[in-house]
Structure 1
Amino acid sequence: MARIGIFFGTDTGNTRKIAKQIKRKFDDDTMAKPLNVNRATVEDFMSYDFLILGTPTLGEGELPGLASEAQEESWLEFLPQLEDQDFSGKTIALYGLGDQITYPTEFVNGIFHLHEFFTERGATCIGNFPTEGFGHEFSMAEVDGEFLGLALDLDNESALTDERLAKWLDLIAADMGLPALAA
């Protein structure tokens, strides 16, 4: 079995696209095939000590799910299944997608919501990413000049995605036992 699980919630498919992009950088022994949380079980999720979790931010800074007008069930429906789980000893890296121009005061708030949920249950979250170069006004996911995970804006800065993703994967590599990526 792979050592790292990668799970995502999505609405338009962009978060899935990033999950697949991450997976392509690693072999099957290192990282499992990405799995949408609307198809995941608690057992799938809990079988990994290392997790990479992705989410878009919808509406007024919400996680995706039916209540936030996503097209399918997602994080809002899956997280309640995990409420009683103990994440002590698990290491989690988060990435989030947002639109800093259209939603400058809710940019990647989904990262914050996942970070809060999992750290309250004992997880260690890694992979804070610098806010330098972003044009948002406010984000709940910003603490001391860093996002609580990788922030991506595919709507306005898609040309920066590969560079930001490579930088983030290098940041989390040692904590997850990942090999360094070739430059």
Structure 2
Amino acid sequence: MTFTIFFATSTGKTEDVADRLKELLPGTEAKDVDNIDSIDELVAAESLICCVPTWNTGADEARSGTAWDDLVQEIPDKDFAGKSVAIVGLGDSSGYSDFFCDAMEELYTAFLQSGAKLIGKVSTEGYTYDDSKSIIDGKFCGLAIDEDNESELTDQRLQAWVQQINSEA
């Protein structure tokens, strides 16, 4: 199973996490969604890891504040049937504790509507936050990362998650 990592970043933290994932998944390519020609690059991938930050906290939609906000509108109209899609969300569990990694849910819902096989759900155990729209059926709908307050946990979380998605894909 070959993953392609798609990311968007405002501060560089999401790109850094995408690069760290790339190191854990040899042969994987990472692409900034700001630089892709069209959504067809996502459709063409064998399987996807989507890395998204949460910026527009408290908004009803367009919560990433990045190019993902436009793509999320197009994803439900594309055919991702049977493709494995895993999501990584970055957020600030302290400063924005009521909206922790909210943007993950937008991607999750869009890919669900497109027929994708969503993998990589993570337990909320070990996280400190007040609320998140990205909790579905009691779990985060992807891997939640907090580089602002819990960066010491990121490598361990990424390694465990890579094993998980490889077994689920």
Shorter-chain TM-score above 0.5: yes
**Cα distance between partner residues in 2 of 1:107 and 1:14:** 15
RMSD of Structure 2 on Structure 1 (CA): 1.5
> Equivalent residue for 2:152?
159
Moved over 2 A (4+): 77-84
Which residue, 46, 51, 56 being the options, matches 1:59? 56
Matching residue within 39, 60, 70 for 1:42: 39
How many residues are paired up? 164
Aligned to 2:24: 25
CA deviation after TM superposition for structure 1 residue 150, in Å? 0.3
- For the residues of structure 1 that align with 2:53 and 2:35, how far apart are their CA atoms? 17
State TM-score, norm by structure 2. Answer: 0.90
In the superposition, the TM-score normalised over structure 1's length comes to 0.84
Q: Unpaired runs of 5+ in structure 1?
A: 66-73, 177-183
Asked if structure 2 preserves the Cα contact closer than 8 Å seen for 1:89 and 1:123, the reply is: yes
CA distance, structure 2, for counterparts of residue 121 and residue 101 of structure 1: 33
Match of 1:77 among 70, 76, 79: 70
Which stretches in structure 2 are left out of the alignment for 5+ residues?
Answer: none
Partner SS state of residue 94, structure 1? strand
Cα distance in 1 between the residues matched to 2:165 and 2:97: 27
> Partner of 2:99 in structure 1?
106
CA separation of 1:37/1:159 partners in 2, compared to 1, >3 Å: closer, same or farther?
A: same
Secondary structure at the aligned position of 1:108 is classed as: coil
How far has the Cα of 1:49 moved from its partner?
A: 2.7
- SS in structure 2 opposite 1:38? helix
Identity %: 34
Matched, 1:9 2:26: no
Give the 3 Å change call, closer, same or farther, for CA 86–21 of structure 1 in structure 2. Answer: same
Tell me which amino acid in the other structure corresponds to 1:125.
L
1:26 counterpart letter in structure 2: L
